[in-house]
């Protein structure tokens, strides 16, 4: 492939200054392979929301970012939706939503109503996932769309009242690198760092104090396999101060095991917000940090991630996020009060079965900001409805 073609491909499939990616194609399932480094410009720094913008989002929904140039394709194995003909579905239902999910929720409602004209589903402001969850606990809403995992405090409050946790059903992938719209999360180091991959076990050993994955604490770069002058150098950890959606995602995805909640090490350099993370690591030769892909605005090297022993390292490229092979891709959730072992209201259940179908995921694709689920993810989500 000519250099210009390679550079163009790199610009389309990455978002950070340096992304290490496994070679694709026929070698995808062969195991360990050499890494190729693609170098590209860092992203433009995103400004923080003003209070006026935040309030506008709560009342009207957040202004949508432009779609990515690349768009995914639907998984051919997604199940087709078959409308119910054996019962008549009727009723009015109201819920809440995060400010970034307002438009896509309304588009899903519109399509669902084309099957069931006597059903009306709405969401009302203020639009914020945390506020909607509070109203769900109070019993004032039928459901809430949330663009992140629920806060532990929300789950605890819900469980204290009802005796069980809310049902959180993944209904779409997150975005790739849309600022403020659930971008995938990546780990990064300085450009000088020779590290080529990192495992979930190693992340837990570095960042957690609990080590639920069973490893010993990792404090030096040599313990990650680096040699020479790197071997005895201490690892400087950067992270986002709890509570934050990004740190909660890493905690749940990597550090929690079963019902054991992971806890952060005390010597992490915490920031209240995600904005400075890439700059900190770019300026610290021995640092490592994480953030959303939309915040990679400094010259760092993105590190491929290995979830399980024997897995092929997955770089945070658009393709890997779209195919749900990158293990730090995110999800959006539909949250509802469901008594374990009992059926949901038939309209709510049917709405979820529609969303978790080829036709429902087509709405997600047409919206062009979030990524449709793959068939195996839909299967997992549908299984939650029968618990």
Are 287 and 316 in the same domain? yes
Question: What is residue 124's three-state secondary structure?
Answer: coil
State residue 180's pLDDT score: 84
Are 82 and 100 in the same domain? yes
Mean pLDDT (the chain) is 91
pLDDT at 15 over 80: no
pLDDT band (50, 70, 90) for residue 38: confident
pLDDT at 266 over 80: yes
Residue length of the chain: 387
Task: Out of 290, 306, 322, pick the residue that ends a domain.
Answer: 322
Question: Which two three-digit tokens encode residue 49?
Answer: 């929301």
Task: Look at residue 6 and tell me if it is in a domain.
Answer: no
pLDDT band (50, 70, 90) for residue 64: confident
Task: Look at residue 255 and tell me if it is in a domain.
Answer: yes
Q: Is 36 exposed, middle or buried (0-12, 13-18, 19+ CB in 10 A)?
A: middle
State residue 27's pLDDT score: 40
Task: Look at residue 108 and tell me if it is in a domain.
Answer: yes
Are 76 and 110 in the same domain? yes
Are 292 and 373 in the same domain? no
State residue 108's pLDDT score: 98
pLDDT at 6 over 50: no
Measured distance CA(184)–CA(75) in Å, rounded = 20
Measured distance CA(387)–CA(335) in Å, rounded = 14
Task: Look at residue 42 and tell me if it is in a domain.
Answer: no
pLDDT band (50, 70, 90) for residue 31: low
Are 214 and 315 in the same domain? yes
pLDDT digits (tens, 9 = 90+) for 319-348: 999 999 999 999 999 999 999 999 999 999
Are 112 and 243 in the same domain? no
Are 192 and 277 in the same domain? yes
State residue 267's pLDDT score: 96
State residue 323's pLDDT score: 97
Are 280 and 198 in the same domain? yes
Are 144 and 203 in the same domain? no
Are 312 and 232 in the same domain? yes
CATH number at residue 164: 3.40.190.10
Question: Which two three-digit tokens encode residue 339?
Answer: 């008594």
pTM, rounded to two decimals: 0.89
Are 78 and 140 in the same domain? yes
pLDDT digits (tens, 9 = 90+) for 95-111: 999 999 999 999 999 99
Give how many domains the chain has, as a whole number: 2
Task: Look at residue 78 and tell me if it is in a domain.
Answer: yes
String of b and e for 81-104 (b: at least 16 CB within 10 Å)? beeeeeeebeeebebbbbbbbbeb
Task: Look at residue 277 and tell me if it is in a domain.
Answer: yes
Domain that holds residue 108: 71-174+330-384
Are 302 and 356 in the same domain? no
């Amino acid at each position: 492939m000519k250099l210009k073609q390679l550079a163009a491909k790199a610009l389309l499939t990455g978002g950070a200054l340096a992304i290490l990616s496994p070679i694709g194609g026929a070698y995808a399932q062969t195991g360990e392979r050499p890494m190729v480094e693609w170098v590209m410009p860092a992203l433009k720094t995103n400004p923080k929301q003003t209070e006026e913008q935040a309030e506008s989002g709560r009342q009207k929904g957040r202004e949508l970012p432009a779609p990515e140039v690349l768009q995914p394709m639907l998984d051919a194995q997604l199940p087709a939706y078959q409308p119910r003909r054996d019962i008549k579905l009727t009723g009015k239902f109201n819920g809440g939503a995060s400010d970034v999910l307002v438009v896509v929720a309304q588009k899903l409602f519109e399509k669902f109503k084309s099957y069931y004209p006597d059903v009306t589903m709405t969401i009302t402001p203020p639009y914020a996932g945390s506020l909607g969850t509070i109203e769900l606990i109070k019993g004032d809403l039928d459901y809430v769309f949330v663009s992140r995992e629920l806060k532990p405090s929300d789950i605890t409050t819900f469980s204290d009242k009802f005796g069980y946790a809310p049902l959180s059903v993944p209904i779409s992938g997150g975005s790739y690198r849309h600022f403020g719209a659930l971008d995938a999360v990546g780990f990064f180091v300085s450009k000088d760092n020779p590290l080529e991959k990192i495992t979930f076990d190693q992340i837990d050993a570095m960042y957690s104090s609990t080590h639920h994955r069973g490893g010993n604490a990792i404090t030096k770069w040599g313990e990650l396999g680096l040699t020479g002058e790197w071997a005895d150098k201490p690892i400087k950890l950067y992270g986002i101060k709890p509570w934050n959606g990004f740190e909660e995602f890493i905690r749940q995805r990597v550090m929690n095991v079963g019902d054991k909640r992971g806890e952060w090490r005390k010597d992490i350099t915490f920031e209240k917000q995600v904005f400075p993370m890439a700059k900190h690591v770019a300026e610290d030769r021995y640092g490592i940090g994480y953030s959303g892909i939309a915040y990679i605005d400094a010259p760092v090297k993105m590190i491929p991630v290995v979830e399980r022993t024997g897995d092929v390292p997955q770089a945070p490229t658009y393709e890997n996020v779209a195919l749900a092979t990158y293990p730090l891709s995110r999800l959006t959730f539909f949250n509802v009060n469901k008594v374990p072992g009992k059926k949901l209201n038939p309209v709510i259940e049917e709405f979820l079965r529609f969303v978790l179908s080829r036709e429902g995921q087509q709405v997600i694709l047409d919206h062009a900001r979030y990524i449709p689920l793959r068939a195996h993810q839909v299967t997992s989500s549908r299984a939650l409805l029968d618990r």
